[in-house]
Amino acid sequence: MSIGATWAGTHVFTATRLIEATSIGQVQAAVAETTGPIRALGTRHSFNDLADTSGTLITVTGIAPDPQLDQSARTVTVGAGTRYGDLAVWLEGRGWALHNMGSLPHISIGGAVATGTHGSGVTNGCLSDAVQALEYVDAAGDLRVARRGDDGFEGLVVGLGAYGVVVRLTLDVQPTFLVRQDVYRGLSWERFLDDVPAVMSAGYSVSAFTTWAEDTLQQVWRKSRINDADAPDPTWLGARFERPEEAGLVGVPPDNLTVKGGVEGPWLERLPHFRLDSTPSNGDEIQTEYFVDLKDAAAALTAVRALSSDIAPHLLVTELRTVAADALWLSGAYGRDTLAIHFTWRNAPAAVSALTPRIEEALAPFGARPHWGKVHTMGADAVAAVTPRLADARAQFERLDPAGRFANSHLQRLGVRV
Ligand SMILES: Cc1cc2nc3c(=O)[nH]c(=O)nc-3n(C[C@H](O)[C@H](O)[C@H](O)COP(=O)(O)OP(=O)(O)OC[C@H]3O[C@@H](n4cnc5c(N)ncnc54)[C@H](O)[C@@H]3O)c2cc1C
């Protein structure tokens, strides 16, 4: 049976079998009764072989979301296979919100949390940072619960599928809020590099887009919570405020994007870039992303800009975002406020393979960490050098899964599993 490929077609799965579970009991039975390697698969939005296995893949996307809201604790507990966008609609209908969203609402919560998926905002942790508790099926098929505050919990949240199948998650929620997206074009690199943290703090969630080649940034999207927002400043840092109909993005059909141009709307229709009812991003693409300390932002961006003439021909767009520091052992933002430097490449694997090591070399002085779900060429030594709690995470995975059923060649190559 062919399992198919990742969403963007960048990796064809080699697993021999896919189990589409419709209940937690089925997940437990599948883990207990199959022999050999087994790994969880989400909505396939990663770009590499991270999720793959030589044995069985199991997905929990067919298990009913069954969201349970606890208003006094300010949490929601929901099936791990649920798409963020579906949970968001359910929460909004009850007057509640998540703190942030990734660029697309189509990803499963379990898969996004497992890779440290993030949106933007200097005070916003990654999506995984909202996890209060997780229920998972362990290597023996038993159902276990881990809660914030438990020993080793921080090593399980961004867990890369390396120790079990997460079936339900409890997430922090807050009362619903309105957001406005203001798009600015033509901010000069000079003004930006002068104080990157200040620009990236000019809203609840700020994204800067560039193709590296020009003297100005292509666009800056400032997403402001309405209660914290002043009216848009048409002359902000010398950049030009865009009317709604102008606010497109290179390589993306305008109808796929959420509403911009300063029009207020609920958080779930403004924090993601892409609409739930459309194709996110471009589709025919490869993604790469690195995380550096926000205080090194200007130097790190200058180092990448030196490669701009080689990068630009193969790039659709770069997005720069921020992630607040967290304590999750394998998070890209572990222990440091972070600038995320993202590349959406044209679907040209050879060019991307040639460029990524050069970008990694340029960013090495800044201790750049790779996004686990995207394409990179860092090996075990390089990953170990920038992941302070890697050995602790690995030891916990080995203890929970001594036979290595949830290990795969990707995790072994990166030194995450033995
Ligand atoms: C168009 C596009 C836009 C994106 N935008 C962003 C963005 O804004 N920010 C960002 O940070 N990333 C972004 N990504 C990357 C994406 O969020 C991550 O790759 C994420 O892991 C995808 O979730 P998924 O459900 O598809 O997981 P998959 O790719 O299916 O799996 C990823 C990992 O999660 C594990 N996993 C999945 N489900 C479970 C489970 N139930 N239990 C245990 N482990 C599990 C898998 O074993 C695997 O290791 C984007 C990707 C695409 C294609």
**Helix (H/G/I), strand (E/B), else coil: 340:** strand
Mutation test residue for ligand 1: of 10, 26, 43, 45, the one with most atoms within 8 Å of CB:
45
In this prediction the pTM is 0.95
What confidence score (pLDDT) does residue 256 get? 80
Query: Tokens for 11?
Result: 């990796």
**Is the minimum distance from the CB of 339 to ligand 1 under 6 angstroms?**
no
Write down the pLDDT at residue 279: 76
Residue 229 reports pLDDT greater than 70:
no
- Residue 107 Cα to ligand 1 midpoint, Å, equals 6
Residue whose Cα lies nearest atom 10 of ligand 1: it is 117
User: In this structure, what token pair is assigned to residue 390?
Assistant: 């890697």
* Amino acid at the residue 315: L
pLDDT single digits (tens) 182-213? 999 999 999 999 999 999 999 999 999 999 99
- Of 344, 416, 418, 356, which is closest to residue 387 (Cα–Cα)? 416
CATH 3.90.950.10 holds for 68-176: no
Whether the CB of 375 sits within 6 Å of ligand 1:
no
Write out pLDDT tens, residues 22-55: 999 999 999 999 999 999 999 999 999 999 999 9
Contact 19, 30 (CB under 8 A): yes
Cα(161)–Cα(158) distance, integer angstroms? 8
Asked whether the beta carbons of 134 and 146 are under 8 A apart, the reply is: yes
Domain residue spans in the chain? 68-176, 178-377
Tens digits of per-residue pLDDT, 341-350?
999 999 999 9
Q: How far apart are CA 61 and CA 364, in angstroms?
A: 37
DSSP state letter for 83? B
Distances (CA, A) of 146 to 70, 331, 401: 18, 17, 15
- Cα of 373 vs centre of ligand 1, distance in Å, is 6
- The third-level CATH classification (topology) of the domain covering 178-377 is Alpha-Beta Plaits (3.30.70)
For residue 77, the tally of other CB atoms under 10 A from its CB is 18
pLDDT(221) > 90: yes
Backbone angles phi, psi at 252, to 5 degrees: -120, 125
> Is residue 312 pLDDT above 60, yes or no?
yes
Backbone phi, then psi, for 27, in 5-degree steps?
-65, -45
State the pLDDT at residue 166: 99
Residue 399: enclosing H or E segment and its boundaries? Answer: helix 390-400
The span from the CA of 418 to the CA of 296, in Å, is: 32
pLDDT digits (tens, 9 = 90+) for 267-294: 999 999 998 888 777 778 999 999 999 9
Kindly state if the Cβ of 397 falls inside 6 Å of ligand 1: no
Each residue's pLDDT tens digit, 109-130: 999 999 999 999 999 999 999 9
